[in-house]
Amino acid sequence: ARISLLDNLTGLPNRLFLSEWLDDELRRTRRAEDHLAVMFIDLDRFKLINDTHGHDIGDAVLVTLASRIRRCLDEDCKLVRYAGDEFLAFCREDTLTPRAERIALRVREALKEPVRIGTDVLRVDASIGIAHHQDGDSADELIRKADLAMYDAKARQDGLPVKFDPTRHGDRLSPATLEPMLRHAVHQHQFRLVYQPVTEIVTGEMVAVETLLRWDHPTRGPVPPSEFIPVLEESGLIVGVGEWIIDEAFRQAHEWHRAFPDQVPLRVAVNVSARQLAQSGFDDKVRQALTVHPVPPAAICLEITEGALMVDIEAAWSALRVLKRLGVKLALDDFGTGYSSLSYLRRFSLDTLKIDQSFVKGMTESTEDAAIVKHVVAMARALGMVTVAEGIETPEQLAALHRLGCEHGQGFLMSKPVPADEISRLLRQGRQVARPFGGVQEPRHRVPVNPFDRIDVTAPVSPEELLGPAQPSTVATGEPPLAAER
């Protein structure tokens, strides 16, 4: 009987044990002064390790990571293997000694260390959601709350643990409910694309757009990307949806190229998930889309996160090397939030570094964040790369980025993501999204042939000089940004 309550692989208590133990713990909680906290720990992209390295390697990784998690917990905590790559950790705490968040941070740091299995060096991140038992919560409800918070953590760029918040998570559908809805959405063509302008900070002109996915549910209306994209990735649906995004974005790029033949082709950036990159023949699918929708390869940029590159470096390099030879541009997205290895910056011949919005948000208040941005810009310049700052929301942030020499930026200060028709209007009207510095329409060092050529501007500028008097715009908006947007 004891064996049946333990997981055969890791030796941890299993789901059958949990169903009996947790009910008893909750009854005890109702009588005690302390309360029960649960941490829902999900291993990001673990399924890719099974797919690319085999289940034997995957099992060895699971055993190693389970041992690391166990060592991070206090002696009176309980760790359960809940599902294949999911663990639940329980601890008791009171208002004087909250410890779930502290333990969760410890677990996350431990899991970031690479795992060495034979000659393989593998990296797995974790997303962690935290929920505290409230009066009336059943065992299933407590776990559901932690699960919702975990998916919110998965959507964040900084990877930090997230506590369940009823004001933010109360109306969210669970991943188990969302997955069949998303499968239906794929067949019913409920997805659409929007495009967020990337502007040259000096001129305020649009030099590229980032392609972003939106889901319009027939009864719920627009579903926040932070709610459904992690489910697409975890379920594997992102592979098929990603292929559609590539085809549709390339089609739109070709349409803009035909409609504005006298302009430098607008660069269209497309996000590529770790699952897509690990698929055999990914480079063939990109080449096929370029054949069907002929645009200059340099007008296409594939945006890849650090984590996606690190899942299987050899497979990523094999696919991206072919596309680089075709002339497709490569950008490293959310730089600074992952592994930040300088070796792969050179190995993958990346063209662009996108500075994560968490650093942009903090750079006007934190000397540490400002120093990070400064050094990232300097490093990119030394490697012949262009920098794009994400999530710019204030004139002060934009002015600080200009002072540090960052070439390009995107964010709600300049423009929210807009439909393709709005990008077409901007192209007809000269690509101007924001006011140029000092009213200069064309900077002295601008080279029109390549909109991503670097401009050497080092003079400081104030927010007032940068933006000038406020002017109405049909692109810029005061709407609050969604969590998953730049």
Question: At 30, is the pLDDT very low, low, confident or very high (cuts 50, 70, 90)?
Answer: low
pLDDT at 154 over 60: yes
pLDDT (average), residues 386-408 = 91
Which CATH superfamily hosts domain 179-467? Answer: EAL domain (3.20.20.450)
Count of CB atoms within 10 A of residue 421's CB? 7
Question: Rounded mean pLDDT of the chain?
Answer: 82
- Name 160's Cβ contacts closer than 8 Å, sequence gap at least 6: 105, 108, 153
Task: Pick 121 or 243 by higher pLDDT.
Answer: 243
Name the nearest CA neighbour of 459 among 406, 402, 407.
402
Q: Which two tokens stand for residue 309?
A: 């590159």
What is the pLDDT averaged over residues 67-73? 95
Mean pLDDT of 119-141: 85
Instruction: Name the residue ranges covered by the structural domains of the chain.
Output: 3-170, 179-467
Q: Give the mean model confidence (pLDDT) for residues 226-242.
A: 89
- Kindly tell me if the per-residue pLDDT of 123 is higher than 70: yes
Please give the CATH topology (third level) of the domain spanning 3-170. Answer: Alpha-Beta Plaits (3.30.70)
Higher local confidence (pLDDT), 159 or 401: 401
The yes-or-no verdict on residue 281 having pLDDT over 60 is: yes
Contacts of 45 (CB under 8 A, 6+ apart): 124, 125, 274, 275, 307, 308, 311
Residue 19, pLDDT above cutoff 80: yes
Which is more confidently placed, 465 or 105? 105
Q: Which amino acid is at 303?
A: E
Orientation of helix 395-403 relative to helix 367-382, angle to 10°: 50
Q: Which of 133, 130, 137 is nearest to 169 (CA)?
A: 130
